[in-house]
Amino acid sequence: MTTVLLVDDEAAITDNLAPFLQRSGFQVVVAGDGDAALARIGADRPDLVVLDVLMPGRDGRSVLREVRQGGSTVPIILLTQVGESGERAMALEEGADDYLNKPFDPHELVARIRAVLRRGTPAAGPSLASAHRLRSGVLELDRASQRVFRDGAEVVLTPRATTLLGYLMTHPGETVSRERLLEEVWGWSFHTSTRTVDTRVAELRRAVEDDSGDPQLVVTVPGEGYRFAGPVEAG
């Protein structure tokens, strides 16, 4: 059974969320602060960590940095009350595999956990979210310089389209709604028009697909959103 370490200093959250995760098929270990989280990660070797950011003492970001600096690639999903896109981007740069804003639907958390676990295990090496380069066939994204290459030649994309490509490539095989892309990539709330997403997807397809009218990488899932359908590996 997959073991999830749930880290939050609010007992009202862990007391309700832990049983929900157990009913969803996970074995759950709970820690109430950052120091306890680090001890649990070392002792219990969880398959995934759900980590609150805002905790007294050693906060979640500090735990994340220490875990990654120690060489562990255990998948980590951050729980945060800060929704700015810059904050989320910084979390990914520091090695988080995903993040979820509080308050959240527990079903959404379970979906994120399963998606992260599908993308790989600690034994598989560096996570896609923390990789500096991502590759899918002839397509390569250099996340440090925000440059995209196809067959070795650089393709020109707007900064937002490049960020969108990075998000989709770090979530391969996962269907992502337009609303979630607006929140995660643009940092906008749901009332903003989702046509913005469609425009940038069309730009991506023109640049990275053999035939933008018959996309094989950035595919549409009718009624749900978009999915990066190619295999992705960390560079």
One digit per residue, pLDDT tens: the chain, 235 residues?
799 999 999 999 999 999 999 999 999 999 999 999 999 999 989 999 999 998 988 999 999 999 988 888 899 999 987 655 566 666 667 788 888 888 888 988 998 898 888 776 444 445 677 778 999 999 999 988 899 999 999 999 998 999 999 999 988 888 888 888 887 787 765 455 778 899 999 999 999 999 999 999 999 999 889 999 999 998 7
Q: What is the pLDDT of residue 35?
A: 95
Please give the helix or strand (H or E) that residue 91 lies within, else none: helix 85-93
Reference 26, options 98, 112, 125, 95; nearest CA is 112
Per DSSP, the three-state class of 69 is helix
Q: What is the pLDDT of residue 97?
A: 85
Q: What is the pLDDT of residue 194?
A: 79
Do 205 and 230 contact (CB within 8 A), yes or no? no
Q: What is the pLDDT of residue 21?
A: 95
Burial pattern 138-149, b for ≥16 Cβ within 10 A else e, equals: ebbbbbeeeebb
Please give the helix or strand (H or E) that residue 89 lies within, else none: helix 85-93
Compute the 3-state secondary structure of the chain and give helix, strand, coil in percent, each to the nearest 5: 40, 20, 40
Tokens for 63?
Answer: 């735990």
pTM: 0.59
Q: What is the pLDDT of residue 124?
A: 45
CA gap 106, 103 in Å, rounded: 9
